[in-house]
Amino acid sequence: MILPAYIKMKNTLRYSRNREQGFTLVECMIVVAIIGIASAIAVPAIMNWLPNMRLRAEARNLYSFMQKARMEAVKNNRSTAVRFNAGVNNTYSFCDDWNSSASPAACNGAFLQVKNISTVGNGVGYGHGNATASVPGGAFPGNDISYVGNTLIFNSRGTCNGGYVYLDHQDNTTTYAAGTQTSGVIVLRKWFGTGGWQ
Instruction: Grade residue 138 by pLDDT with cuts at 50, 70 and 90.
Output: confident
What pLDDT is stored for residue 53 in this prediction?
Answer: 84
Close Cβ partners of 97 (under 8 Å, ≥ 6 residues apart): 76, 78, 79, 80, 107, 108, 109
Q: What pLDDT, on the 0 to 100 scale, is given for residue 66?
A: 94
* Average pLDDT estimate for 69-75: 94
Cα angle 101, 116, 109; round to 5? 30
Backbone angles phi, psi at 82, to 5 degrees: -120, 120
CA distance 122 to 88: 16
For range 156-175, the mean pLDDT: 89
pTM of the model: 0.75
For the stretch 79-116, pLDDT in tens is 999 999 887 678 899 998 998 888 788 888 778 778 88
pLDDT of residue 73: 94
Q: How confident is residue 150, by pLDDT bands cut at 50, 70 and 90?
A: very high
93-107, 121-135, 161-175, 181-195 — most confident range:
181-195
Would you call 61 exposed, middle or buried from its count of C-beta atoms within 10 A (0-12, 13-18, 19+)?
Answer: middle
Mean pLDDT of 41-69: 83
Q: What residues contact 99, with CB distance under 8 A and at least 6 apart?
A: 79, 105, 106, 107, 108
Reported as a single tens digit per residue, the pLDDT across 6-50 is 555 555 555 555 555 678 888 889 999 998 888 788 777 666 667
Q: Any idea what DSSP says for residue 30?
A: H
